[in-house]
Amino acid sequence: MRRLAEARQPLWRKLPVPSSQINPYRIVIVLRLVVLCFFLRFRIMTPANDAIPLWLVSVICELWFALSWILDQLPKWSPVTRETYLDRLALRYDREGEPSRLSPIDFFVSTVDPLKEPPIITANTVLSILAVDYPVDRNSCYVSDDGASMLCFDTLSETAEFARRWVPFCKKFAIEPRAPEFYFSQKIDYLKDKVQPTFVKERRAMKREYEEFKVRINGLVAKAEKKPEEGWVMQDGTPWPGNNTRDHPGMIQVYLGSQGALDVEGHELPRLVYVSREKRPGHNHHKKAGAMNALVRVSAVLTNAPFILNLDCDHYVNNSKAVREAMCFLMDPQLGKKLCYVQFPQRFDGIDLHDRYANRNVVFFDINMKGLDGIQGPVYVGTGCVFNRQALYGYDPPRPEKRPKMTGLLGFYKKRGKKDKLGGGPKKGSYRKQQRGYELEEIEEGIEGYDELERSSLMSQKSFQKRFGQSPVFIASTLVEDGGLPQGAAADPAGLIKEAIHVISCGYEEKTEWGKEIGWIYGSVTEDILTGFKMHCRGWKSVYCTPTRPAFKGSAPINLSDRLHQVLRWALGSVEIFMSRHCPLWYAYGGRLKWLERFAYTNTIVYPFTSIPLIAYCTIPAVCLLTGKFIIPTLNNLASIWFIALFMSIIATGVLELRWSGVSIEDWWRNEQFWVIGGVSAHLFAVFQGFLKVLGGVDTNFTVTSKAGADEADAFGDLYLFKWTTLLIPPTTLIIINMVGIVAGVSDAVNNGYGSWGPLFGKLFFSFWVIVHLYPFLKGLMGRQNRTPTIVVLWSVLLASIFSLVWVRIDPFIAKPKGPILKPCGVQC
């Protein structure tokens, strides 16, 4: 009885931030907003008459910064944390000795170029998926190879063979993590909590087998670096269909999951499927978003699990119970039907101890995302996310039924009519009778046997072809509410593979709603933001799951150039969304998107535009030092109070935010520094590139090319790797002109005596503020040998010199004389 009562308990609970921590935080936010209003009023009402242009630019920048802070701060008003109960989930759905009732799940892994995305990393991701702590008959893994690479194909073949030994080893000894590369490289006591006498022997043997597996993969990579003139040839002597990566048919290969694919102990293994969608010249394939939509359709035809977990090829499963963590929310009787996805935080391996370029993004994942979880849910960040398949199909979430006001037969039919309609499309569970078969013709043949209301529902199936495409098998799968193949479909495996090839053809999505209302949404290089935004607009909720052991871990670029290039891509996607019809500023006001959630999405697409006022504000201190002018007139006592109050409120907000979130002050400071570094470089380029791309149709690509190698003996050799990119020029120029300004300002004060030092301190403070924030960038330029590449120095010195010379020539702050020019004539007058 006690276990039965335990099984009926909630599978999760919400843990709000304690009032002793959140209430002071909210009070300080309100006080800071009040102080900010008075400060801005003072700045607007007291212009610097001797430097009107500088004053005007600075005030405009400060107004934009204030708006940006409000958009960022308000969604963090009610942060929450959630706790799951895996034992209750097991008691309810996965009791020992009984068939598991846990929902099936399909894993999606996406890769494009195996020479840039090492195959051994992709293999480790796949192995960690196959070994998760989840029923094998309810776990399938689909790998999308969007580069149609024979190297990826052969790597998966080797991975499937190695999995027959690796998976039982993981489950027998309950090891973590279940990616062999990262398990064997752990610097911990691997004997802790291990009691089986055979563990050491079997671990040693497994490590040897993994090293042999790595050697085989390295051999495949070496072979792939030299492509034969006649193209690749498969083992049976036939040409590889993907020799032309831009013109090839669709390919599907099922490695595991079929009869006979058992591990070395005779147990069944999860299904592993290789997918490479068809590509032809003249078709827009929509990059990653298109590849993910192809996987949605293939998986619906072959397995049709109700939930989908997508991972990048370099993100492995670090917590084998991660799927169970997500199921505590998705299988909850009350909350589960309302959830479009469960998002996990991104965690990373291989980052330097001090996280010089804020790769961990701790402030976003541990502060902003928890704030959003208290509103309508976190945004989708592209990986480590478990989707409700029905939400991807563009359905609306179920609404609570209202008590009918009408009685009798008319009221009954009105109630039925409301049930059978959902957002202009079919409701998830309203077509049970169609599940007897999967051919549309069969559905239409049975129309005479139903009443008028049911006949209209069945006839609406024809509109499904315009919505989902010309595949009766896929359409039938969308009507199965709890997942699984429609009845009769599983009896013809060869027919399912043929249909799966059909749904990944390059013309399948034409004249359908794929990428518009269904699946991953097209229109931006950051398809993740758009996809989650559309779901939230329909009224779906999302949940942020933060287990004690990180669910997934990935790799991040740790050198300066690659990091800036990554940030450039994200910012460019935000600019594209801003200039599209999906912009949160004007999209879906009639929907069910909450206002604070809209503020958060608005902030995600306008933040690149902060680069323009930011670079102007970082230039102003140098200009003030070079000209002797300042943006603020002489301060009186009241004005000094507002300045002090503003700085104190900024410090208090940061301290209290760190207190309730648990983020370290070092992580917070690194985030502040990289906000400036990315703002004056990648974000600025993204704004101009976005305008060129959207308005002018010019697709400018800032390519990062390698200029130096790294010391492979150093674990963080890439940290010192330099790659030339134009993104480095603006920050370097800012550092130089601010340093020149400091030298000029101090020299002027020395020459003019004691009275000049007072006004100088305010200017020096702002200039040092710029340099301190750009310090990690400066270290990145210096590299291991503390040397800056010549090309960066030349460009930056040139720009700084031109700016200084132009300024001296124009000098707008010197009053131009009117009338005749008088010159001193000395004794000759």
- Residue from 304, 716, 618 nearest 478 by CA: 304
**CA 484 centroid distance within chain:** 29
Residue 511 labelled as part of a binding site: no
- On whether the CB atoms of residues 174 and 199 are closer than 8 A, the answer is no
Report CA-CA distances (Å) from 290 to 184, 507, 679, 699, 740. 36, 12, 30, 19, 50
Phi, psi of 239 (to 5 degrees): -65, 145
Report CA-CA distances (Å) from 300 to 285, 326, 478, 481, 766. 20, 20, 8, 12, 58
The active-site residue, picked from 94, 133, 145, 146, is 146
The active-site residue, picked from 396, 528, 562, 667, is 528
Task: Give 183: exposed, middle or buried? Use CB within 10 Å, 0-12, 13-18, 19+.
Answer: buried
In angstroms, the CA 676 to CA 812 distance is 28
Write down how long the chain is: 829
Concatenating the DSSP letter of every residue in 405-466 gives S--HHHHHHHHHHHHT-BTTB--TTS-GGGGG-S-HHHHHHTGGGS-HHHHHHHHTHHHHHH
User: What's the CA dihedral at 162, 165, 170, 173 to 10 degrees?
Assistant: -150
In angstroms, the CA 49 to CA 69 distance is 28
Residue 707 labelled as part of a binding site: no
User: Rounded to a whole number, what is the largest CA-CA distance in the chain?
Assistant: 120
Residue 117 labelled as part of a binding site: yes
User: What's the CA dihedral at 693, 695, 698, 703 to 10 degrees?
Assistant: -30
Task: Give 282: exposed, middle or buried? Use CB within 10 Å, 0-12, 13-18, 19+.
Answer: exposed
Concatenating the DSSP letter of every residue in 682-725 gives HHHHHHHHHHHHHHS--------EE-S---TTSTTGGGG--EE-
- On whether the CB atoms of residues 119 and 221 are closer than 8 A, the answer is yes
- Tell me if residue 492 is catalytic: no
- Residue from 733, 610, 730 nearest 60 by CA: 610
Within 10 angstroms of residue 214's Cβ, the number of other Cβ atoms is: 16
- On whether the CB atoms of residues 599 and 73 are closer than 8 A, the answer is no
Residue 312 labelled as part of a binding site: yes
As given in the structure block, the two tokens for residue 469 are: 């495409």
In angstroms, the CA 254 to CA 497 distance is 9
- On whether the CB atoms of residues 38 and 642 are closer than 8 A, the answer is yes
- Tell me if residue 699 is catalytic: no
- On whether the CB atoms of residues 268 and 259 are closer than 8 A, the answer is no
In angstroms, the CA 439 to CA 495 distance is 12
- Residue from 121, 572, 448 nearest 313 by CA: 121
As given in the structure block, the two tokens for residue 389 are: 């398949």
Phi, psi of 783 (to 5 degrees): 70, -165
Residue 288 labelled as part of a binding site: yes
As given in the structure block, the two tokens for residue 325 are: 């963590």
Residue positions forming the annotated binding site for UDP-alpha-D-glucose: 110, 116-117, 146, 287
Residue positions forming the annotated binding site: 110, 116-117, 146, 287-288, 312
Please give the positions annotated as active site.
146, 528
Residue positions forming the annotated binding site for Mn(2+): 288, 312
